[in-house]
Amino acid sequence: MLEASGARAHVYTSPHLVRFNERIVLAGEEIDDATLIDVLNRVRDANAGAPLSFFEATTAAAFLAFSEHDADYAIIEVGLGGRYDATNVFAPRACAITPIDYDHAEFLGRDLAGIAREKAGIIKPSVPVFTGPQHELVDAVLEAEARKARAPIQSWGQDFRAYRQQGRLLFETDKELLDLPLPALAGDHQIMNAGLAIAVARDIGISPDHIATGLSAATWPARMQPLMSGPLVDIAADLGAEVWLDGGHNPHAAQALSAHMASLEARSPRPLILIMGILANKNASAFLDYFEGLAAGLVAVDIPDHASLSPDVLVELAATRGMAAIVGSNLTDALQKAVDMGDALSRQAIEEPITPPRILICGSLYLAGRVLAENA
């Protein structure tokens, strides 16, 4: 939306999927290797051997790069939590808080109100804050923290809302109703994400026309991404199977993913087969709960170079939810097994026609990054 309006925007996000450079975008272009090496070396030298985490170092490097390249805005994604996050060191033009749920429990705990207070730590005195759909408890915490900071707050459902109607996205406040194209990103959860972005965009003066252009042009790899070609996808495509990729790794993401898969099933029935790898510190059981009765099978994979949950454990969890479940030795093997499993599950008798499966690769951004790298 900013770029459609003619503005130049830096962007800092994490983690990366394939290349580290993805994390730091300078006025629309990923940081080049030479600039990245330069700012990392200067951060290391300035730190002079003091304790420094990976994320602190990369955040400092990003901000150093931003300071030396012209732009009108910087969009900064908080890494984790909020209050004590390395990104939380300046007064922004606006703050946005997407739906808060249980994640990173080893750092943030399992108290939803406490998690909300940590997330609310990005709220700054007198700086507008916008919040997406939240649990009632979370809404109350965010509103209380905004009052403490005397920060004007606009909340989903109270001050603005967005919804799908007749193939369009409608954004509504007490003052205006915008008729916009649906976001290019798939899934009803992206309607909510778009609504939150539109609320911020209107506050900083972006026009409806530029908002519409931004919605239509938005891309975000590994977020409900249909994979159309590549060596991995060719295994499935030759037999007519669909392949989708999403890096969501917590129950909240699973809820959105399963809802989109259910909507696809309603329009075009196919056996749904998950290819899944997930880190050991994530709640795999709660993730799979959302696919019970929806996914017919699961192929579990390891995530190389990361502390992932044992594929054998993942198979056991899937089996208790009524899914046919096996282990894939690697991504190529997993794709082939998913196709074979889908074919077998699509018919009750050998003479019946085969319905190619719908395959969803999910459970981890690290796994998603590996898929994109191997499928390039």
What CATH number is given to the structural domain containing 229? 3.90.190.20
Which residue, 165, 190, 217, sits at the end of a domain?
217
Residue 267 is assigned to a structural domain of this protein: yes
Strand duo 153-155 + 9-12: pairing: unpaired
How does residue 239 score in pLDDT terms, banded at 50, 70 and 90? confident
Instruction: Indicate whether 312 and 205 sit together in one domain.
Output: no
The angle subtended at Cα 215 by Cα 78 and Cα 97, nearest 5°, is: 25
Same domain, 171 and 45: yes
Residue keyed to tokens 């990104």? 87
In a domain? residue 2:
no
Query: CATH number for the domain including 81?
Result: 3.40.1190.10
| Residue 375 scores a pLDDT above 80 | yes
Is 3 part of any domain?
no
* pTM reported for the whole predicted model: 0.91
pLDDT at 351: 61
Burial of 238 (0-12, 13-18, 19+ CB in 10 A): exposed
- Cα–Cα nearest to 124, from 155, 146, 100: 146
Q: Within this chain, do residues 150 and 132 fall inside the same structural domain, yes or no?
A: yes
- 109/89 same-domain check: yes
Q: Is 4 a member of any domain?
A: no
Verify that 181 and 273 share a domain, yes or no: no
Specify whether 229 is located in the same domain as 212: no
DSSP code per residue over 192-220: HHHHHHHHHHHHTT--HHHHHHHHHH---
Query: pLDDT of 328-343, one tens digit each?
Result: 999 999 999 999 999 8
Question: Of 196, 217, 238, at which residue does a domain stop?
Answer: 217
Q: For residue 355, what pLDDT band results from cuts at 50, 70 and 90?
A: confident
The verdict on residue 334 lying in a domain is: yes
Residues 117 and 240 both lie in one domain: no
Pair (213, 234) in one structural domain? no
Whole-number average pLDDT of the chain: 94
Given 217, 238, 271, the domain boundary residue is 217
pLDDT in tens, 8-53: 999 999 999 999 999 999 999 999 999 999 999 999 999 999 999 9
Same domain, 96 and 41: yes
Share of the chain above pLDDT 70, in %: 96
Band of pLDDT at residue 106, cut at 50, 70 and 90 = low
pLDDT level of residue 101 (50, 70, 90 thresholds): confident
Give me the domain span that covers residue 268.
Answer: 225-374
Residue 235 located in a structural domain: yes
User: Is 247 a residue whose pLDDT tops 60?
Assistant: yes
Kindly state whether residues 20 and 141 are assigned to the same domain.
yes
Query: What are the Cα distances from residue 276, in Å, to 298, 305, 327, 342, 361?
Result: 7, 16, 10, 15, 6
| Helices and strands: H and E segment counts in the chain | 13, 16
Q: Please give the residue that has the higher pLDDT: either 23 or 90.
A: 23
Question: Any idea what DSSP says for residue 227?
Answer: P
Q: Helices marked H in the chain — which ranges?
A: 33-47, 54-67, 105-108, 112-119, 136-148, 189-203, 208-217, 231-237, 251-267, 284-289, 311-319, 331-345, 365-374
Per-residue pLDDT for 165 more than 90?
yes
Rounded-to-integer distance, Cα 52 and Cα 44, Å: 9
Return the exposure string of 156-183: e unless at least 16 CB atoms fall within 10 Å of the residue's CB, then b: beeebbbeeeeeebbbeeeeeebebeeb
CA dihedral 264, 269, 270, 276 (to 10 degrees): 30
User: Does one domain contain both 91 and 169?
Assistant: yes
353 preceded by cis ω (within 30°)? no
Structural domain includes residue 1: no
Residues 27 and 174 in one domain: yes
What is the tens place of the pLDDT at every residue in 174-211? 999 999 999 999 988 999 999 999 999 999 999 999 99
Domains contained in the chain, number? 2
- Tell whether 188 is covered by a domain: yes
pLDDT of residue 358: 96
Mean local confidence (pLDDT), 252-264:
94
